[in-house]
Amino acid sequence: MTVPEFTSHTPLRIGTRRSPLALAQAEMAAAAIRDAYGLAQEAVVLVPMLSSGDKIQDRPLAEIGGKALWTKELERALIEDEIDIAVHSMKDVETVRSPLFVLSAMLPRADVRDRLIGVASIDALPLHAKIGTSSPRRAAQLKALRPDLVTVPIRGNVATRMAQVEAGEFDATLLAAAGLDRLGQTDIGASLPLETMLPAAAQGAIGIDHLAERTELALFLKAVNHEATFLAVMAERAFLEALEGNCHSPVAAHATCGEDTILLRGEILAEDGSERHSGALEYSMDDRDGPARLAADLLGQSSDRLRHLFTP
């Protein structure tokens, strides 16, 4: 198998959502590929697409199909040979995917933390403050910290959400630090420590996938894969898979790689924040059962009510 060659006549076609953040992330992937192979600008092109998640803005994603809404148009385009590879925010990629597709590379991970927009800290929020978030994880974590807070669904891109807070529709909202940084908004919001709010699994990571049958692309993408990010994110996704949760299940996870071990932290919560279980496990990189053991440990500490949010 040889590494494919891409030129202005036969460029590498990168599928991406049309949102400003998705386009910025796709361009990061394109730049990494150009740099790795010394390709000309026109040898790598973006193919922007409008996803169902972008079209439907009046309801939380969990109510209308979840993460699949971000990826299904790109997957269709891969199948129909409209694009060669697709670039995703890994946080938006379904945990269990069709064997037709394979993730072959991830770029170096960015800041995994959440940022609070509107106030300087959670403690600074007024009593019964209204927080805009459509994330079950963020809503549950906020309520675990401040049971008085009211969480209300919010949709739209980064600029739209920030404008809603500025207009007083919400007292605050939460956004991923990585997304803000990639949009040049490095000075916006207050970053929350991981001890306060453990992030969503795969937050801050950009993944590249393609059709599994195109094995030449797997070889090609090795040049831009950041191994530590890839291993950490796959550990977090394995933790989610072991929990058997869905889009309504409040869960957080974060992994870091040592020399030959992975340290995985996980957290599961009741939707109203009234129950919260956290834990950590360090295990060998060749131990594929580590994430499942941490998931089983947290579920074992949980009430029947909380377990039912995860295991069917």
What's the CATH number for 114-191?
3.40.190.10
- For domain 238-307, give the CATH superfamily: Porphobilinogen deaminase, C-terminal domain (3.30.160.40)
pLDDT of 312 higher than 80: no
Q: Which of 64, 52, 44, 66 is nearest to 18 (CA)?
A: 52
What are the distances in angstroms from CA 163 to CA 16, 79, 117, 150? 25, 37, 11, 19
pLDDT at 220: 98
pLDDT in tens, 35-68: 999 999 999 999 999 765 555 555 555 554 556 6
Contacts by residues 148-152 (CB-CB < 8 Å, ≥ 24 positions apart): 149/125
User: What is this structure's pTM?
Assistant: 0.92
Q: Are 12 and 83 in contact (CB under 8 A)?
A: no
Q: Which of 18-22, 42-46, 77-81, 137-141 has the lowest mean pLDDT?
A: 18-22
Over residues 171-180, the mean pLDDT reads: 96
Q: Would you kindly state where each structural domain of the chain is located, as residue ranges?
A: 12-108+204-225, 114-191, 238-307
pLDDT in tens, 232-242: 999 999 999 99
Structure tokens at 182: 């990639």
Fold of 12-108+204-225: D-Maltodextrin-Binding Protein; domain 2 (3.40.190)
pLDDT at 231: 98
**Which residues, including other chains, have CB under 8 Å from residue 297's CB and lie 6 or more apart?**
279, 281
pLDDT of 276 higher than 60: yes
Over residues 127-137, the mean pLDDT reads: 96
Higher pLDDT, 3 or 32: 32
Length of the chain: 312
Decide whether 114-191 matches 238-307 in CATH topology: no
pLDDT at 156: 85
Catalytic residue IDs? 92
Average pLDDT, the chain: 93
pLDDT in tens, 213-237: 999 999 999 999 999 999 999 999 9
